[in-house]
Structure 1
Amino acid sequence: MTRSEKVEIIAKLEENFKMSEAIVVCDYRGLKTKKLEELRNNARENNVKVQIIKNTLANIALSNSGKKGLELKDTNIYLWGEDQLSVSKVAAKFEENNECFKIKSAFVDGEVVEVSKVKALAKMPSRNELLAMLLQVWNAPITNFTIGLNALKNKKESE
């Protein structure tokens, strides 16, 4: 790889990392190609980017984008995106189903976080799920009121 190619890759990564809300670094050693394709397809569906990057290039891009503190050793695959929850869900779900895939570290909300926080974020409901819950809460009193009125009507008719 030539120096100009490296500079181009770093610039592209830096731009992507600046826009991302979460970056998750995972170990993928021993993972088969089919499983990597599964991860990429699942990530694509959730607007998450996945890429295997040399640690030196990733470290430069992360530093230039203001996201410092991630410890990068051994073989790494990087997952990032604009939505913290989707990145966390993709990484945690894939880790559950594959023993060769391990979350090593993450950068969320402007700070380096532990793996436990990534897994906790993965368990949180998404925006659409939260909106559905809110609508259920708002509809519950109206539903209960109409059920009560219907029961009262049936009682009056039976008398």
Structure 2
Amino acid sequence: PIKFVVKFSKDHENFKIKGGYVESRVVGHEEIVQISRLPSRDELLSMLVGTLKAQVAKLSFALKGIILKLLYAFKEIERKKEEK
């Protein structure tokens, strides 16, 4: 609702926000506008999930690279043993 009120005040010149009451304290106009710019809970959760997913993907690719290098090393050892 705070985003709606701030948007409404921008659309209607006669409607002015002087302040508000947020989490047991009185806040001024500027703080109300700043709060209205914050992402919603769902948006924040989406950003968090996206960040976590990206980190898991990075870890997965890093581990895959290590495993592939190990596999190539084993194949090279096997090849050298066959040459002897």
Secondary structure of the residue that 1:125 maps to in structure 2?
coil
The answer for the alignment partner of 2:6 in structure 1 is 92
Determine whether 1:133 maps to 2:47.
yes
Determine whether 1:103 maps to 2:17.
yes
Q: Match for 1:113 among 18, 27, 34?
A: 27
Which has the larger helix fraction?
A: 2
Q: Percent identity?
A: 32
Between structure 1 and structure 2, the one with the greater Rg is 2
Tell me, in whole angstroms, the C-alpha distance in 1 between the residues paired with 2:18 and 2:3.
Answer: 15
Number of residues of Structure 1 aligned to a counterpart in Structure 2: 65
Secondary structure of the residue that 2:17 maps to in structure 1?
strand
Equivalent residues in 2 for 1:46-61, closer than 5 Å: none
Q: State the structure with bigger RCO (CA 8 A, min sep 6), 1 or 2.
A: 1
- Structure 2 counterpart of 1:116, one-letter code: E
Q: State the Cα distance separating 1:130 from its structure 2 match.
A: 0.8
Return the TM-score normalized by structure 1. 0.35
Q: State the Cα distance separating 1:133 from its structure 2 match.
A: 0.7
Structure 2, unmatched stretches of 5+, are: 69-84
Tell me, in whole angstroms, the C-alpha distance in 2 between the residues paired with 1:142 and 1:111.
Answer: 40
Secondary structure of the residue that 2:43 maps to in structure 1?
helix
Structure 1, unmatched stretches of 5+, are: 1-86, 154-159
Q: State the Cα distance separating 1:116 from its structure 2 match.
A: 0.8
Equivalent residues in 2 for 1:3-82, closer than 5 Å: none
Which has the larger strand fraction?
A: 1
